DNA sequence: CCTACCGATCGGTAGG
DNA sequence: CCTACCGATCGGTAGG
């Protein structure tokens, strides 16, 4: 009869809350994710949900972390077997495009959406989103520098320029898929990546 | 003593509501734009604000129209004196980049923000946003086709591919400005445009 | 264009 | 993990 659960059960509940939160926030945004809706969909009380996190902001940060684990598994880890430099950069871009094409998050890229939602609102969530983009751009820039150093890209290539253009191609793809439902855009994105990184 | 106003005064009030709405929605989004906040900032009652539009959705559509007038004046009209084709395309891209650089809307590109906010929510606002993007992409594609037909761009150039990459560069710039406050990104955007359209 | 109100929902808390 | 609340705010309406 006790509502108290074991530690293992509590961790399972927490994981279930986060998985559902990612699904909701992908479409509705991290602010559109409400405690009440979450509780209703999980068959819990609002205070039961909030007890795992303390506040909505803490929940949002945990959801961002969970989405980051998914992105890492879908886009970063598949590229680790590839050789550092141009080969890995190409695999990264293909995994990145594929992640959007397959609709890993139903609302498109979780982080692009979060960036747009929070870029005008100072706070911990905004800072966390910015830090994730900094880290991701840093990884892409590192592989680009390796490719230039190895002579796989023309000498004098500006790594920041390459990363900027890759990010642009992916953002345009995300936009085309979400707003226009245009799946042909994936071919445009791949074409843009090839134009930058070679075939 | 009468609260009733003349037609001219009513139109002035309506314009004031829309200008304030654009400023708020640019930062908070079209959903974050609330009747209550609008009324408070304008020194009006909520019903006074709502009376001009009937519903929040009608207000959102009117705000989108007002933002469209501003975009047209800032980006489209400056390019009309330029010769159709490549020259006009270059002026359009420069005006587009400048519009983001100067922060015409404090929250960045109004339409990119609206697209992200509404791409997962069926309805009249979403449809209006999509129609605006279709029209804008159509104009860019038209100038690109003219440039190809005139031999200003290589024969066999895919206009849709060019438009996709230009949109990507501008979206990456918008993102860099809003999330990272990175004004060096404008140079990256101009470099990407030159790489596509020539110097 | 106003006051006065409606039901719904928000994040969060008290107390168990 | 629950019930039972809190004050604030939401979009919108009635009636003038």
**Interval B13-71: pLDDT, tens:** 899 999 999 999 999 999 999 999 999 999 999 999 999 999 999 999 999 999 999 99
What does the DSSP 8-state code read for residue A82? S
Nearest nucleotide to A44 by CA–C1' distance?
D1
3-state secondary structure of B82: coil
Question: What does the pLDDT average to over B142-168?
Answer: 98
Q: Which residue is nearest to nucleotide C16 (CA to C1')?
A: A3
Give one DSSP letter per residue of B142-185, joined into a string: HHHHHHHHTTSS-TT--HHHHHHHHHHHHHHHHHIIIII--TTH
pLDDT tens track for A144-186? 999 999 999 999 999 999 999 999 999 999 999 999 999 999 9
pLDDT band per the 50, 70, 90 thresholds, residue B199 = confident
Judge whether residue A1 has pLDDT over 60.
Answer: no
- The closest CB to that of A115, out of B119, B175, B185, belongs to B175
A49 CB-to-strand C distance under 7 Å: no
Alpha carbon A11 to chain centroid, angstroms: 23
Q: What is the pLDDT of residues B68-117, one digit of tens each?
A: 999 999 999 999 999 999 999 999 999 999 999 999 999 999 999 999 99
Handedness of CA A187, A185, B167, A177 (dihedral sign): negative
Look at residue A4 in the predicted model and tell me its pLDDT.
53
The per-residue pLDDT for B4 is 53
Q: Detail the protein residues whose CB sits closer than 7 A to any atom belonging to strand D.
A: A 3-5, 9-10, 13-14, 39, 43-49, 51-52; B 3, 33-37, 46-47, 50, 54-57
Interchain CB distance below 8 Å, B168 and A164? no
Residue nearest to nucleotide D1 (CA to C1'): A3
Q: Under a CB-based contact definition with an 8 Å cutoff, are residues A157 and A69 in contact?
A: no
Nearest-by-CA chain B residue for A128: B179
Q: How many of the other CB atoms lie within 10 Å of CB of A159?
A: 18
Q: Which of A163, A160, A159, A154 is nearest to A198 (CA)?
A: A154
Domains of chain B by residue range: 3-197
Judge contact between A112 and B178, C-beta under 8 A: no
Architecture category of domain A3-197 in CATH = Orthogonal Bundle (1.10)
What CA–CA distance (Å, rounded) separates B44 from B50?
A: 10
- H runs (alpha helix) in B33-181: 35-42, 46-50, 56-71, 86-101, 110-118, 124-149, 159-175
What is the arithmetic mean of pLDDT over B119-145? 97
């Amino acid at each position: 009869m006790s509502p108290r659960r074991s530690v293992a059960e509590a961790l399972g509940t927490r994981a279930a809350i986060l998985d559902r939160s990612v699904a909701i926030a992908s479409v509705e945004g991290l602010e559109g994710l409400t405690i009440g809706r979450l509780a209703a969909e999980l068959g819990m009380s609002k205070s039961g949900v909030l007890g795992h996190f303390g506040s909505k902001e803490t929940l949002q940060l945990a959801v961002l972390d969970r989405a980051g684990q998914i992105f890492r598994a879908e886009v970063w880890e598949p590229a680790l077997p590839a050789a550092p430099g141009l080969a890995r950069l190409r695999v990264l871009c293909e995994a990145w495009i594929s992640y959007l094409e397959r609709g890993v998050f139903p609302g498109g890229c979780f982080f692009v959406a979060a960036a747009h939602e929070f870029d005008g609102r100072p706070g911990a969530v905004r800072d966390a989103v910015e830090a994730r983009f900094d880290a991701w751009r840093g990884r892409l820039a590192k592989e680009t520098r390796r490719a230039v150093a190895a002579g796989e890209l023309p000498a004098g290539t500006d790594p920041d320029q390459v990363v900027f253009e890759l990010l642009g191609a992916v953002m345009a793809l995300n936009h085309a898929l979400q707003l226009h439902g245009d799946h042909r855009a994936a071919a445009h994105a791949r074409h843009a990546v090839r134009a930058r990184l070679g075939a």
